[in-house]
Amino acid sequence: MLLLIQFWPFIAILDVVFSDGKIQSFDHQLIEVTEELVPDPVVDKLVNAVMSPDRDMLEEVVGELREYVCQ
């Protein structure tokens, strides 16, 4: 199982190996989100295809933070 999660300004990659329903091993990597980070065209196309039906809802602003709340 591979999970990609965004923790601004990083993308976290978590690679988990399961066997018999139990975690056998895991590894992680943080990739800094910068202007130099180029999206993979194949993945970008897949993500856009999945998100397009809900694009309006996903882009709706529902709140605003005035301060950074995580330490």
Rounded to whole angstroms, the Cα distance separating 71 from 51 reads: 31
- Domain ranges for the chain, please list them: 2-59
Query: What are 8-54's pLDDT values in tens digits?
Result: 678 888 899 999 999 999 999 988 888 888 888 998 899 889 989 99
Out of 50-54, 58-62, 65-69, least confident range: 65-69
State residue 7's pLDDT score: 53
> Which tokens in the block code for residue 70?
């995580």
